[in-house]
A and B are shown apart, each in its own frame.
Chain A
Amino acid sequence: MSRWTRPQAVGSTGIVLGALAFWLALPPLAARTAVLPIAVGVLAVAAGIWAASRESRRAGGGAIAAGVLGIAFGVLATRSSSAHLDTVVVWGSLGAATLRYATPLTFAAIGGLYCERSGVVNVALEGMLLTGAFFGIWGAVWAHTWAGGLAWVVGLVAAALAGMALAAIHAVWAISFKTDQIISGTAINFLALGITGYLFVDKYGDTGTPGNVPDYGIPDVHLHFLQNWTFIGPIFGQLNLMIWLSFALLVATYVLVFRMPEGLRLRSVGEHPRAADTVGLSVSKIRYIAVIGSGAIAAMGGAYLSLGFVHSFNQGMTNGIGFIGLAALIFGKWRPFPAWGAALLFGFSSALADRLPAAYGNQWGTLFQALPYLLTLIAVGGVVGRSIGPAAAGRPYAKQ
């Protein structure tokens, strides 16, 4: 069997074909006949069935789903006017919006990676993001009288500290008290929602957060030399600093967790705590550091959301972003770059939902708000197959 007829390769090709089926119906090609996306989509499904019936169920299932979705969205696209399509599908802006939406997910997923790789399940990412979002803007508003345009630095620090405080509760409950980690995580989500909501109403209740936040929010990085490049220019020419930081965080996480002894210790504590203990590592110390660190990272994602993206805070503004980040982590099998890929996919669907109302009216935008959640559901349910996490995740460790 040659390299290209292996089920794995055929399945992956099927996934690409499924995406292609949709892409063909979009500008700049904008095929006007439904036959094209259907034909390509059927090919994708066929490849998927072929791969799934061999040994590769994961890639096969993915190809079948991609093919079906490609046909559905492709046919939808061919049936709408090309003027509408041109309004919605501007690849440069879509790409930039994808990165904007994917960044909080990336921070959440990377925060979760440290926590879960150390063997502590973290469903509290949502609350950590929300806390970061509130305390980020609170710190910046407090500091802008004396720090001026650099107040966002104070905001970031405040967000990180608040996220660490919240994560410390999770750490004490999960590691020292050995309670069920999902329950303590859920409790922290409620606490974060209640505390940020309470403080928000108490401080900004009547008017909302100040309107001048953009003046001292996290700045955009302007790359003027990119301006005239097609496609790349609109995407990377003006991105928020935090988006660039998220790229750096991905690389740093990969190096730290998978290429350095510290990372090996972290992973060993998550995979086999007794063995790690036997060779002299302190399981609870490493887990404490990982959990509290994950709180800081996730909170930075929240601070980006409030200080760098929407420039305001609202009660419960994270809307499940932390959970989608967690799903991206699972989808990416607890590895940084695959998790980022998943975050980009979810970010793309958010970006699409964001641009739809411009052409198709509000109700379609509302319905498409459900798309990232649906994709997440498909991702955790089956298409990716069984994701095997760190072996000791969710199990408290008692030293003997």
Chain B
Amino acid sequence: MSDFETDELDEEPRAGSAPTPQQHFAWRFGGASDLLTPLLTTVVAFLMGGLVVALTGKNPIRVYHAIFTGTGVGWFFQVGNHSARIPFSAAHMWFPWDTGSAAATNLQQTLLFTTPIVLTALAVAFAFRCGMFNIGGQGQYIVGTIFAVWLGSSVASLDPWLHVLLCIVVATLAGALWAGIAGILKATVGAHEVISTIMLNWIAIWVGSYLFGAGGPLQGSRAAIPASNPIFDGAKLPVFWGLKLLQGLSIGVFIAIAMLFVYWVIVNRTTLGFAVRAVGFNPEAARYGGISVARSYFVAMAIAGAFAGLAGAIDVTGWEYQVGPADLQASQIGFIGLAAALLGRNTAVGVGFASLLFGALITGTSSRQLDPTVFRPDLAGNLTTIIQGLVVLFVGLNLGGLWTWLGRRRRV
């Protein structure tokens, strides 16, 4: 009998036995720069999405072409002889691309959406490295949004740079604390982070709806409109490409790119990152090696939440400027970041490219970009969600495991 009692539940798995979820995390998402699976996943997801479009009687090739046109990614291929204004100055210089074309405006939108996706994806990726699944990026993003709008619209007469910095720093910290709740619960009582972060999402949505809604304490001066006041000009990030009024591209995109580098450094070049990864690989071994597992859970969640809170701050100070309950309830950025993190295999470079893919997809399917005579934008929005789901479904599939499974089927 004792044989049964001490087998796979307690011991290290033997060869051929199933790995624990932690080992799954580590093996599948441990940063192996495996290009094949993400690429195949993307292709399969888009093919199956096209199948849905075709089954409901539309031409998938025309639909995808219209979406691609809307993304503005084609801008990179339109090389010519142009003149561009150097940002923040009156001087012009020769430039191979036309910075004022329609495609350029579309590309600004794509990059505008890519920015928060990069950051919410990092929020998922960092927690993943610690063996946690942070579905709370959405809530942490919303908390960051709330604090950025509140400080941006209520604190007047500050030095412009100081004001925007204040908004961003406080929103980042708020996101960190919000995620930290889930981290503390996981570390102290073992509450599963999936449930606690989802509950925190909903609490953030409803509290935000209360704050900005009709009669709420942060509602703007116009009683008929359920939204905050717009933030002061000093709290806005400088726009370097396109027009501020038409959602031009702010320097927030560079903050996101810098954060990709910061993420890489923390994960790969610091003691903290080492501890986090060790806990992600095997909490028991990490504990045996003298690493505080509880502390790692909390710190990893807090840093993850900081990324998501920063995303909210950049959206507010970069182009949204004011928010209302409808914006909070409709936002899906955190969940798209989740798909981007999985598709990017939680590596900095992968997250960057996967976020660009999803940023382009959102822009291309938005009602502002997509030609409604080709495909209804509200259908296209749901197509994005389907593709997102297919990506998460297939990227978790271990190709090797699938191969052995098929092999066993054949043998039987």
Contact = CB atoms under 8 A, between A and B. Distances in A.
Interface of A: 123, 169, 173, 176-184, 186-195, 197-199, 201-202, 205, 272, 274-275, 278, 315, 319-320, 323, 326-327, 330, 361-363, 366-367, 369-370, 373-374, 376-377, 380-382, 385-386, 391-392, 394-398, 400
Contacts of B181: 377
B192 interface: yes
Contact of B18 (A186, A369, A373, A398): A398
Contacts of A274: 4, 7-8
B385 A374 contact: no
Given A187-B396, A194-B384, A194-B388, A382 B4 contact: no
Contacts of A362: 213-215
B240 interface: no
Given A366-B213, A392-B9, A394-B21, A191 B396 contact: no
A188 B386 CA distance: 10
Given A180-B24, A190-B389, A123 B382 contact: no
Contacts of A275: 4
B37 to A, nearest CB: 12
A198 B383 contact: yes
Given A382-B185, A394-B21, A190 B198 contact: no
10 contacts: A177-B401, A190-B389, A194-B384, A198-B385, A320-B202, A323-B195, A363-B215, A363-B216, A377-B200, A380-B195
B210 A366 contact: yes
Contacts of A315: 382
A176 B7 CA distance: 21
Among A183, A201, A385, A397, chain B packs the most CB atoms within 10 A around the CB of A183
Given A202-B379, A382-B185, 18 more contacts: A180-B25, A181-B21, A187-B392, A190-B389, A191-B393, A198-B52, A320-B202, A323-B198, A326-B195, A363-B213, A366-B209, A370-B210, A377-B200, A380-B191, A381-B185, A382-B191, A397-B18, A398-B18
Contacts of B253: none
A120 B216 CA distance: 43
B16 interface: yes
B369 to A, nearest CB: 18
A272 B9 contact: yes
Main secondary structure of the interface of B (DSSP, over half): helix
Nearest to A376: B199
Among A188, A195, A363, chain B packs the most CB atoms within 10 A around the CB of A363
The 8 closest A-B pairs by CB, nearest first: A190-B389, A194-B385, A194-B386, A191-B389, A187-B393, A370-B206, A187-B392, A197-B382
A193 B385 contact: yes
Contacts of B7: 274
Contacts of A197: 381-382, 385
Given A197-B385, A198-B379, A398-B18, A186 B198 contact: no
Contact of A205 (B8, B185, B376, B386): B376
A173 B396 contact: yes
How big is the B interface, by class?
A: 35 or more
Nearest to B210: A367
Nearest to B192: A380
Contacts of A192: 389
A184 B382 contact: no
Given A186-B392, A197-B382, A201-B376, A398 B200 contact: no
A373 B203 contact: yes
B7 to A, nearest CB: 5
Contact of A377 (B8, B24, B203, B393): B203
Contacts of B190: 386
A274 B9 CA distance: 9
A193 B389 contact: yes
A192 B335 CA distance: 14
Nearest to B198: A323
Contacts of A173: 393, 396-397
Contacts of A326: 195
A179 B21 contact: no
Given A183-B342, A380-B192, A398-B16, A177 B402 contact: yes
Interface in B241-269: none
A188 B199 contact: no
B396 A180 contact: yes
B177 to A, nearest CB: 15
Contacts of A178: 18, 398, 401, 405
A319 B209 CA distance: 15
Contacts of B402: 177
A176 B404 CA distance: 11
Contacts of B206: 366-367, 369-370, 373
A361 B392 contact: no
A274 B387 CA distance: 37
Given A362-B213, A386-B189, A194 B207 contact: no
Contact of B386 (A123, A191, A272, A396): A191
A323 B139 CA distance: 15
Contacts of B56: 198-199, 202
Interface in B33-70: 52, 56
B124 to A, nearest CB: 10
Given A123-B194, A320-B202, A186 B385 contact: no
A205 B16 contact: no
Contacts of B202: 319-320, 370, 373
B394 to A, nearest CB: 8
B17 A398 contact: yes
A400 B405 contact: no
Given A183-B342, A327-B199, A381 B189 contact: yes
Nearest to A361: B215
A196 to B, nearest CB: 8
A285 B20 CA distance: 21
Contacts of A195: 52, 382, 386
Interface string B320-338: 0000010000000001001
Given A202-B379, A373-B199, A191 B390 contact: yes
B28 interface: yes
A392 to B, nearest CB: 7
B194 A395 contact: no
A367 B207 contact: yes
Among A176, A199, A275, A366, chain B packs the most CB atoms within 10 A around the CB of A366
A369 B24 CA distance: 37
Interface in B263-284: none
Nearest to B189: A382
B367 interface: no
Contact of A182 (B18, B52, B133, B390): B133
Nearest to A186: B392
A381 B191 contact: yes
B188 interface: yes
A361 B21 CA distance: 47
A134 to B, nearest CB: 12
